Amino acid sequence: MVSVLSFIKWMKDILKRGWLAIVFHVQDEGHFKAVAIIFCLSSDE
């Protein structure tokens, strides 16, 4: 399970990168995990 603080830090990082649409689509753990995987795969940093 993802802790609330980790989730908030992750969302803030996404917001800095302009991923607003993805953040707003995160509604439960399943979606969070899926988005996190997509983010990791698409991030070249």
> Tens digit of pLDDT for each residue in 2-43?
677 887 787 777 667 655 455 555 555 555 666 666 666 665
Hey, CA dihedral for 34, 38, 41, 45, is it positive or negative? negative
The span from the CA of 27 to the CA of 30, in Å, is 8
Q: What contacts 39, CB < 8 A, 6 or more positions away?
A: 14, 19, 22
Domain holding 34, by residue range, is 4-42
How many domains does the chain fold into? 1
Hey, CA dihedral for 23, 17, 45, 9, is it positive or negative? negative
Task: Tell me the pTM.
Answer: 0.33
